[in-house]
A = this chain, B = another copy of it.
Amino acid sequence: MSVSIIGLGKIGTAIISHLLVLGEEVRVWNRSPAAVETMVALGAVPLSDVRDAFTSELVLSILFDDAAVREVITHEAIASATGRDTLHVCLSTLSPSLADELAMAHRSAGLGYLSAPLFGRPEAVEQKAANICVAGDPILIERARACLESFGRVWAVGDEPRQANVAKLCGNFLIGAAVAAMAEATSILSAENADADAFMNLMTETLFASPIYKNYAPSVTGARPLPASGLALPIKDMGLLTTIAAQSQSSSRLLKALCDSLSRAQELGFGAQDWSTALGRSARIASAV
């Protein structure tokens, strides 16, 4: 099977390495040429035009955000492959509305499309331990499965591509709610002069012994802050999810409280920090609701 990869960031290059080991023909396209040369040295075939990627049986794209996808995966590029039996699996974390738009453009051109946002950092992809949240036609999911399983575990959540993008936002919401709850609980304990870190140790070694709580708790309390990554992305994601919840009149009290807490943290000047540090510091500034 011929596979094309669009986007040679850390995750894209990690995927290519796995596919080359499997002996697949891997064709690569990237905006900047340096990453292409590295991959060609490993055995990949360079593409000079992104449209050529869509002549492969399978196209994996892994680009930064909506804007990058709109720039690279143009309607014109998709239409150029009309009539081919191409399947495009979009691994980027995109808005559900862009996923809808892409699904429609591919359908019009007779191509297959799946949304498959990843949970997992580049190191997880290197270790074949990514978690790939997929949605779209089940037959297409089976066509892509072997390739996707070369770098992670496949979790199908629905048959409409956008459902995977909503699921990715919901996953981020569960993380944000956990972080915001830890921020409130530990700020109450700190105000009581109790040992908030000892409390979080108890929690993260027992009831909440999972990666998210273990990773974020010391950053929330300030014991070991995570590297600054900024509130812009979480605020954007939670805003998107709020719109989606409103469309279906779904319950969203906690989501609203999380959005308000993020805005408050930004107002307090913590906009450049990781959300765990920002929500933790903001909660410790006594000011009620």
What residues make up the interface of A, taking CB atoms closer than 8 Å to B?
A: 119, 131, 133, 135, 155-158, 160, 162-163, 166-167, 170-171, 173-175, 177-178, 180-189, 191-195, 198-199, 201-203, 206-213, 241, 244-246, 248-258, 260-261, 264, 282-283, 285-289
Contact = CB atoms under 8 A, between A and B. Distances in A.
Nearest to A248: B191
A262 to B, nearest CB: 10
Contact of A211 (B192, B209, B260): B209
A160 B185 CA distance: 17
A222 to B, nearest CB: 15
A212 B181 CA distance: 14
Contacts of A202: 119, 131, 133, 155, 157, 167, 171
B244 A188 contact: yes
Given A206-B119, A256-B257, A287-B251, A166 B184 contact: no
A246 B253 CA distance: 20
Contact of A177 (B171, B252, B254): B254
Contacts of A166: 188-189, 192, 194
A157 to B, nearest CB: 5
A186 B230 CA distance: 27
Nearest to A133: B202
Contacts of A208: 174, 178, 210, 212
A155 B289 contact: no
B163 A289 contact: no
A133 to B, nearest CB: 6
Contacts of A206: 119, 131, 211
Contacts of A180: 177, 253-254
A254 B256 CA distance: 9
Contacts of A282: 251
A231 B155 CA distance: 34
A234 to B, nearest CB: 14
Nearest to A246: B288
Nearest to A96: B192
Contacts of A157: 189, 194-195, 198-199, 202
Contact of A253 (B175, B252, B257): B257
22 contacts: A133-B202, A155-B201, A158-B198, A163-B195, A167-B199, A170-B199, A174-B203, A183-B251, A184-B254, A188-B244, A188-B252, A191-B248, A208-B212, A248-B286, A251-B261, A251-B264, A251-B282, A251-B288, A251-B289, A253-B257, A253-B261, A256-B257
A115 to B, nearest CB: 11
Contact of A175 (B162, B163, B187, B207): B207
